[in-house]
A and B are shown apart, each in its own frame.
Chain A
């Protein structure tokens, strides 16, 4: 058996061992054992993925494991890429979880939650290895169910968890219905359910069948990836889950939605007409802008990160859509670059988002708060966490030298050069997509300045924030691993070049080696452009050092500095309440995007009893509801509730009526039989 196969079986075995340990081990050892087993499973996933990215292929048929269908597994470079991402995130987060879930009070440390965690981790690694419809759906559903159980881990502590769980359960199962319908129909039309048969038969089907399959499957998978307007579960489930679970979901699970779209759209269906990809670009653009706008408005740290996930997946979808568009127009080289950019963004997003969620979890662990308005001043009390959060935020804002910058730069390159593809659609859509990416990058900068500046700098705005202490070593170690990934991806993205090329080819886009791994830099031969991140980092570091050293040198020449109190206009010393909060920081943005966001504001002025000119108290309330959710989901839910209420009239409690239903049912059936015989 090859390296890939044995590593995958190792991952499954380690996960089972971890699950047993979670069930049986005494509470003292539980977290450590589960964490160790889960980390081993993640590392095995990384090993399998790296071997596959290196060009190793592996497949196995296990007909005895499942009755009727059997289990089919196959790994190519595309699966390998997603396995590496899932495995690395799982391994690092497992180390983090030992500290996070190790102490009794959290619901995440309960026996059940600990037993489910390794299974969820294993499905994250194994889903990309599925090579038949039944295997894929089985693993997919296992992933959805285990993640649902983990989301519900803290339902005793907060009632909001249950609501989030219901939303997540309903949406993930609606997604499963779409996926099941699409893939089953596809398999039925082709006459076989293994991916090899689908790959052979997919391109020959009629355009209607192909289009319907693509729409059904993509809608279901895009919902898992958190694409607007199917994102409603994401900003609920991610904040309410325990933080290590949020990190796994946001950095590994949503990726698998992207994996599915690439696998089905490019590989199994063999590409498609333009409208598929234009729709995908439109969805991605909507997700990117809407997600980051909602993130900008959010004062809840984890909710902000969840919406940012929506944004980043939107960018990835834009890349995939552009790639399909170029492939449909006969430009495989451009298609290769766009797909490579999208896949690289998946990798980068996984690295920084896992770290961000872990750091947010560390803050939650130390203070019990997620509300940015009440945090602040954590840089002094939690310096390590603050530094790690800053590093990840740098990746998320898509500015050099962060790792997000490289993939977004690649994406922009492919879109800008894509203008040479003829056609009205490309001439309109691509510049718009470029504008959307630029807008979302700008907003992302504001979002993460807000999260970092308001949350970690300034002075603490609540007692809990003031009393925070640095988190335990295992959590720091887990975050350190993720930070190392972020730095590696930012400085040396070239090492991924060969693997990305193979993944792009495995997806069925045969642009010959879109990225040239030049060791230290990334070259795009097709577009004759190059980027050397290491030199960018070196240059920036030199520039920052120079800029910060110069004033100091200048200051040294003058007289020594004098400490004086801040000028306070005579109003007394400034209190933390006067500093910017997350809400006030976002207020200008809210004004700019007033028409899009439709915030609900409420100013309540109470006058003093003596005179109407004296104000006793002013209360300001602002809510930014998710408008898409309000407009799209509320009517559907109202309709369902109305249908349920009217159906209740069928059951007024009369015994005769119930018996009558049975009687009329029987008689009607018999009449139909007698007449239709």
Chain B
């Protein structure tokens, strides 16, 4: 693989990665959001794959396979299952009153247009902040570093502004994807044992959140996080 092809492909993967994060902000259907998240997992897996092929490192290729399995396969599967559990079959097709549909992120705290603008601002901010880091060692991989940071910020933004518990889980996973991407782009990945630990952590977090979401649904009837406010009184 030539240097130019590598750069092109890496930029393509990073572009897809960032685009997926923005689409998560745009779409309202939770099923669509999960699909986009799975696609983002593939884009994320492409980054270590390209790095591994370019630097001839088999361990990075293995890590890429693992990431693809986890973030494009297992985690979306778990979330889809949670979604089905939280919106049971008999509810499907029946229109609920506005705002109570469990399968849609109907009323985010910040509306979609403003969210997209904010995502643009956050991406700019990520580029501004990452400049000194890029300047340290300008390679194709580090030039794409701001993308990782931007996804971290967008993930945090999703976490802070979405009402449905499942959308929050996606936000958390976006944040984690961003961190992983930053690690690959800045340092060609963390040691394998750390990567394994982090992946396992994320898996456990999603499992726990899935259980909590189900509990929330049985306790409050919805998965709207604002209902948790009752616990503070």
Given contacts A659-B160, A677-B131, whether A671 and B125 have CB atoms under 8 Å apart is: yes
A sample of 30 cross-chain residue pairs with beta-carbon separation below 8 angstroms, ordered by A number, consists of A652-B232, A653-B228, A653-B229, A653-B230, A653-B231, A653-B233, A654-B226, A654-B229, A655-B226, A655-B228, A655-B229, A656-B109, A656-B160, A656-B161, A656-B225, A659-B156, A660-B161, A662-B160, A663-B156, A663-B159, A663-B160, A666-B156, A667-B122, A667-B153, A670-B125, A670-B129, A670-B153, A674-B129, A677-B131, A677-B132
- A68 CB-CB contact with B under 8 Å: no
Looking at the assembled complex, report how far the CB atom of B119 sits from the nearest CB atom of chain A, in whole angstroms: 12
A662 proximity list for chain B (CB < 8 A): 156, 160
Q: Report how far A677 CA is from B163 CA in the complex, Å.
A: 36
Q: Mark B149-160, 1 if CB is under 8 A from A, else 0.
A: 000010011011
A673 at the interface (CB under 8 A from B): yes
Q: Does A651 contact B (CB under 8 A)?
A: yes
Q: Which residues of A contact B128 (CB under 8 A)?
A: 674
Tell me the complex Cα distance, A670–B231, Å: 33
A428 to chain B, nearest CB (A): 60
In the complex, chain A residues whose CB is within 8 Å of the CB of B132 = 677
Query: For residues 619 through 677 of chain A, which have their beta carbon under 8 Å from a beta carbon of chain B?
Result: 651-656, 659-660, 662-663, 666-667, 670-671, 673-674, 677
Q: When chains A and B are docked, how far (Å) is the Cα of A656 from the Cα of B168?
A: 10
Q: Are A652 and B129 in contact (CB under 8 A)?
A: no
Interface size on A, residues (CB 8 A): 17
Give the complex CA separation of A671 and B231 in angstroms. Answer: 34
Would you call A673 and B160 a contact (CB within 8 A)?
A: no
Main secondary structure of the interface of A (DSSP, over half): helix
Contact pattern, B 120-132, Cβ under 8 Å of A = 1, otherwise 0: 0010011011011
- Chain A contact residues, CB within 8 Å of chain B: 651-656, 659-660, 662-663, 666-667, 670-671, 673-674, 677
Return chain B residues, CB-CB under 8 Å to A660.
Answer: 160-161
Contact residues in B for A663 (Cβ distance below 8 Å) = 156-157, 159-160
The 4 closest A-B pairs by CB, nearest first: A653-B232, A674-B128, A659-B160, A653-B229
- A673-B231 in contact (CB<8A): no
Residues in chain A near residue B122, CB distance under 8 A: 667
- Separation of A677 and B131 alpha carbons in the complex (Å): 10
Which chain A positions have C-beta within 8 A of B129? 670, 673-674
Report the bound CA distance from A655 to B233 in whole Å: 13
A contact residues around B159 at 8 Å (CB): 659, 663
Measured between C-beta atoms, what is the minimum distance from A669 to chain B in Å?
9
Which chain A residues lie closer than 8 Å to B156 at the CB level? 659, 662-663, 666
Q: How far is the CB of B134 from chain A (nearest CB, A)?
A: 12
| Residue of B132, B229, B233 with highest tally of chain A CB at under 10 A | B229
A655-B225, A656-B109, A670-B129 given; 4 more Cβ-contact pairs under 8 Å = A656-B161, A666-B153, A666-B156, A673-B129
Distance, CA A651 to CA B228, complexed state (A): 13
Residues 122-149 of chain B, each 1 if its beta carbon lies under 8 Å from chain A, else 0: 1001101101100000000000000000
- Give Cα distance in the complex from A653 to B160, angstroms: 14
List residues of B (175-193) whose CB comes within 8 Å of A's CBs: none
Min CB–CB distance A17 → chain B (angstroms):
49
Give the chain A neighbours of B125 by CB distance below 8 A. Answer: 667, 670-671, 674
Query: Across the interface, which residues of A come within 8 angstroms of B225, CB to CB?
Result: 655-656
Instruction: Determine the residue in chain A with the shortest Cβ distance to B230.
Output: A653
Nearest Cβ in chain A — how far from B117, in angstroms? Answer: 14
Cα distance, A667 to B122, chains bound together (Å): 8
A511 CB, min distance to chain B CBs, angstroms: 67
> How far in angstroms is the closest Cβ of chain A from B108?
10
Q: How far is the CA of A183 from the CA of B130 in the complex (A)?
A: 44
* Chain B 207-233: CB-based contact to A (< 8 A → 1; otherwise 0): 000000000000000000110111111
Closest to B162 in A: A656
Complex: A653 Cα to B230 Cα, angstroms:
8
Residue of A whose beta carbon sits closest to that of B149? A670
* Contact pattern, B 90-129, Cβ under 8 Å of A = 1, otherwise 0: 0000000000000000000100000000000010011011
How far, in Å, is A381 (CB) from chain B's closest CB?
Answer: 58
CB distance from B160 to the nearest CB of A (A): 4
Nearest-Cβ distance from residue A642 to partner chain B, whole angstroms: 21
Instruction: Tell me the smallest distance from the CB of B60 to a CB of chain A, in Å.
Output: 29
Alpha-carbon separation in the docked complex, A652 to B230 (Å)? 10
Q: Which residues of B contact A656 (CB under 8 A)?
A: 109, 160-161, 163, 225-226
B160 surroundings in chain A (CB, below 8 A):
656, 659-660, 662-663
Give the distance in Å from the alpha carbon of A663 to the alpha carbon of B160 in the complex: 7
Chain B residue nearest to A657 in the complex (CB): B160
Nearest CB of chain B from residue A73's CB, rounded to whole Å: 49
Closest to B233 in A: A653
Residues of B near A655 (CB, < 8 A) are 225-226, 228-229
Closest to B121 in A: A667
Alpha-carbon separation in the docked complex, A10 to B13 (Å): 74
Given A667-B125, A671-B125, A652:B157 Cβ within 8 A: no
Q: Give min CB distance, B122 to chain A, whole Å.
A: 7
Q: Which residues of B contact A653 (CB under 8 A)?
A: 228-233
Closest B residue to A664 by CB, please name it: B160
